[in-house]
Amino acid sequence: MRVTDHALIRYMERVHGVDFDTMRREIAVIARAGASLAENTESTVKVNVPNHGLQLVLKGDAVVTVIDKKTIDYIPQKRSKQRIPTMPRQLPEVYRT
């Protein structure tokens, strides 16, 4: 029996009490800090998140994935002269813990 992502998310939310809305807001706050780096482009943009060892992948006004340090180190990087932008080290107050 295959379990869809939707079913998995609902199970985690309803059985285990995982609060996806809070997680979604946290990601949105981080993404807003780097959104200006992805403005005016229709392509996918990777943005480094300092002190978290993450990259956010933005497309338009959406965060399409989050890549952790282990995955970043594992994925072979394309040989490109384009530098991946880094967000400011100071994240908005609502995100800092």
Task: Yes or no: say if 27 and 63 are a contact pair by the CB < 8 Å rule.
Answer: yes
Q: Where are the alpha helices (DSSP H) in the chain?
A: 5-14, 20-35, 69-74
How confident is the model at residue 96, as a pLDDT? 43
pLDDT higher than 70, residue 71 = yes
Mean pLDDT of 30-46: 74
- In the numeric block, which tokens belong to residue 11? 């199970």
CA distance 92 to 25: 12
Task: Compare 94 and 25 and report the one with higher pLDDT.
Answer: 25
Position 84 pLDDT exceeds 80 = no
Q: What is the rounded distance in angstroms from the CA atom of residue 19 to the CA atom of residue 33?
A: 22
pLDDT of residue 94: 46
Mean pLDDT of all residues in 36-64: 79
Q: What number is the average pLDDT over the span 30-58?
A: 78
